[in-house]
Chains A and B, each alone.
Chain A
């Protein structure tokens, strides 16, 4: 019998503010442990939080981008639980009156289907610190640099039906927050983290019991984890068991998941309005002034890419999705002057290399200008596609710009027809047997026999002859012999 999967996502995005949500500590990533943890971040007595306006502004930008209502009055609450990386023993968050109300996000699937995913709400909250469980004489180490980093938590409705939709939705959110410039989107640094709520049911029936898998920080892990959990739940039910509501942890490296805690022993968070913080009241003019600052959003950019660069919807989706990718493409396309070739190189070779090394385009070893420089030489015939791969490889390894590499490696393609003719003549003169075979062969068999000659000519030119010219000249000369 058929099963239907029901998925809802909770997405944490770190906001790209310079300072924390309630203190003036820096939010810079990668500093020495606890050097960015102030008295307030450490929950010292006598400290009082003051909210960061920029965090509010960023959350509102997100709300406007997903067509949501922005709350004129929003309230911070305390979510109480004990964990050493949360020194106050409560997280300051929003529950009853979050800053961003209901909205929606459109996704497009590989087959071109479009779907709208509803957002229940999005709220502001503070991030916790980090616990390091390596062995410190049987103790855990706590780094509170991250404690108090502003987060926007985006909560979807259970509108997602499979892993493909979940990943498309997650990528779309990534695209929106990076396009808005409110989050750097660096998943490997934990700038965006996804909690996935999964249940299964017979189509048309009530929702099944759900489990929540927390803190996924890669799209690939999300896809794998959903497949694994759906299979686990179906097997469990078909074997006569029951799904238990619980939190699960997924390990992307071992592709295994385990239960973290079941709901029975789960925390009762005892939310209540934070007495240290007053309600934040905003007026229409303020919200409208933020609307005026919204940059181009992914959907608009997608349509513009199709129109302006003649890209297919699918290609435009890939190139416009990530704000950094879009910028890379536009810079490279303008500099090289060949949009199609630029698009192909970015979606092909460059993306493949970035994926293989789990690197974001922002940190690509080959920048947009360098790629454009290589494509320019490809277009003007200086190098062949095969040579371009070598040039790309060298640029990736930091050997310099295309022109420097072409010069240093002597990769210039020979396009001088006189020189190519001489090489063709020589190869034909030294290949009596093959020429005879060619002459006597059936016309339909001849094209296949060209390979030998082309190979010899390319060898004679040390791979530098322009292949297109070689083909043309060779064909003409051989046919003259018939």
Chain B
């Protein structure tokens, strides 16, 4: 699998990361190197092997449906850049 500069640009946009010219070239190269390793792994015969969703062979524990959290709004909002009327304020977003 090959990766192009345009793929990196698109991923950067989706991840809301701003990359400058030098970094785009560098990132394209690093990811291409990683994908080369993946290509080697692809050579392994996985016929009949169930894909895993998680590297550890463990099972998720579930919790009982109980309200255990209390209100800590004051503490959380003390470190927020902008709040008003109990709301977090963010740059205006409308689809």
B71 and A36 within 8 A (CB): yes
Check if B67 sits within 8 Å of A26, measured CB to CB: yes
Are the CB atoms of B89 and A140 closer together than 8 Å? yes
Q: Is the CB of A50 within 8 A of B62?
A: yes
B25-58 CB contacts (< 8 Å) to partner A: 53-54, 56, 58
Contact between chains at B73 and A35 (CB < 8 Å): yes
Complex-state Cα separation, A397 to B52, whole angstroms: 61
Given A131-B93, A139-B89, A141-B88, residue A18 in contact with residue B67 (CB < 8 A): yes
- A160-B18 Cα distance, complex, nearest whole Å: 44
Supposing A34-B88, A36-B71 touch, asked if A278 and B58 sit within 8 A by C-beta, the answer is yes
**Interface 0/1 of A250-270, CB less than 8 Å to B:** 000000000011000001101
Cα A141 to Cα B14 in complex, Å, equals 23
CA distance A82 to B14 in the complex (A): 8
**Segment among A51-59, A306-314, A319-327, A350-358 that sits at the interface with chain B:** A51-59
By beta carbon, the residue of chain B nearest A144 is: B88
What residues of A have a CB within 8 angstroms of the CB of B66 in the complex? 18-19, 24
Query: Which of B54, B77, B91, B94 counts the most A-chain CB atoms under 10 A from its CB?
Result: B54
Contact of A281 among B10, B59, B63 (CB under 8 A): B59
Q: Judging by beta carbons under 8 Å apart, are A25 and B67 in contact?
A: yes
Contact residue among B60, B73, B84 (Cβ-Cβ distance under 8 Å from A278): B60
- Does any Cβ of B come within 8 Å of A133's Cβ? yes
Bitwise, A18-29 to B at CB < 8 A (1) or not (0) is 110001111000
Say whether A139 contacts B82, CB under 8 Å: yes
Contact B87 A33, beta carbon cutoff 8 Å: yes
Which segment, of A37-45, A202-210, A445-453, faces chain B?
Answer: A37-45
Q: List CB contacts (< 8 Å) of A256-293 with chain B.
A: 260-261, 267-268, 270, 273, 275, 277-281
| Chain A residues, Cβ within 8 Å of B56 | 278
Contact-residue size bin, chain B (C-beta under 8 Å from the other chain): 35 or more
Q: Contact check, B61 vs A50: say whether CB atoms are below 8 A apart.
A: yes
Q: With a CB–CB cut-off of 8 A, which chain B residues contact A50?
A: 61-63
- Complex: how many Å from CA A249 to CA B90? 23
A450 to chain B, nearest CB (A): 66
What band does the interface of chain A fall in when counting residues whose beta carbon is under 8 Å from B? 35 or more
Contact across chains for A141 and B93 when beta carbons are under 8 A apart = no
Q: Is A398 an interface position by the 8 A CB rule?
A: no
A24 touches B67 (CB 8 A): yes
- Complex CA gap A38/B76 in Å reads 9
Cα distance A281–B53 when bound, in Å?
12
Report A-chain residues with C-beta under 8 Å of the C-beta of B14. 80, 267-268, 270
CA distance A121 to B11 in the complex (A): 30
Residues of chain A within 8 A (CB-CB) of B16 are 82
Choose one: A32, A138, A268; the contact of B86 (CB below 8 Å). A32
Instruction: Give the interface centre of A32, A34, A53 by most chain B CB atoms within 10 Å.
Output: A34
Encode contact with B along A441-481: 1 for CB under 8 Å, 0 otherwise.
00000000000000000000000000000000000000000
Give the residues in chain B near A36, CB-CB below 8 Å: 69, 71
- Given A142-B88, A260-B95, A52-B65 contact (CB < 8 Å): yes
Q: Are B76 and A84 in contact (CB under 8 A)?
A: no
> Which chain B residue shows the least CB distance to A19?
B67
Query: CA A164 – CA B78 in complex, angstroms?
Result: 51
Does A136 lie within 8 Å of B87, measured CB to CB?
A: yes
Does A75 make an interface contact (CB < 8 A)? yes
Contact A279 B87, beta carbon cutoff 8 Å: no
Q: Is the CB of B63 within 8 A of A141?
A: no
- Indicate which residue in B60, B76, B82, B91 contacts A37 across the interface (CB closer than 8 Å): B76
- Distance, CA A132 to CA B85, complexed state (A): 12
Residue of A83, A144, A279 with most partner-chain B CB within 10 A: A279
- What is the chain B residue whose CB lies nearest that of A58? B65
- A201: Cβ under 8 A from any B Cβ: no
Residues of A within 8 A of B61 (CB): 50
A residues less than 8 Å from B68 (CB atoms): 19, 24
Tell me, yes or no, whether A97 is within 8 Å of chain B by CB. Answer: yes
Q: Quick check: is A143 within 8 A (CB to CB) of the other chain?
A: yes
Q: Given A139-B90, A141-B85, is A279 in contact with B62 using a C-beta cutoff of 8 Å?
A: no
Are B87 and A273 in contact, CB atoms less than 8 angstroms apart? Answer: no
Return chain A residues, CB-CB under 8 Å to B58: 278
Identify 5 new A-B residue pairs, CB closer than 8 A, beyond the known A139-B92, A141-B87, A279-B59. Answer: A34-B77, A54-B64, A84-B90, A142-B89, A273-B53
Binding site for A on B (CB under 8 A): 10, 14, 16, 53-54, 56, 58-69, 71-73, 76-77, 82, 84-95
CB pairs A–B below 8 angstroms (15 shown): A17-B65, A23-B69, A26-B69, A34-B77, A34-B87, A39-B72, A132-B87, A137-B89, A139-B90, A139-B92, A268-B10, A275-B54, A279-B59, A280-B60, A281-B59
**Chain A interface residues (CB < 8 Å from chain B):** 17-19, 23-26, 32-39, 42, 50-56, 75, 80, 82-84, 97, 131-133, 136-144, 249, 260-261, 267-268, 270, 273, 275, 277-281
Ranked 8 nearest A-B pairs via Cβ:
A24-B68, A141-B87, A54-B65, A33-B86, A278-B60, A53-B62, A38-B69, A273-B53
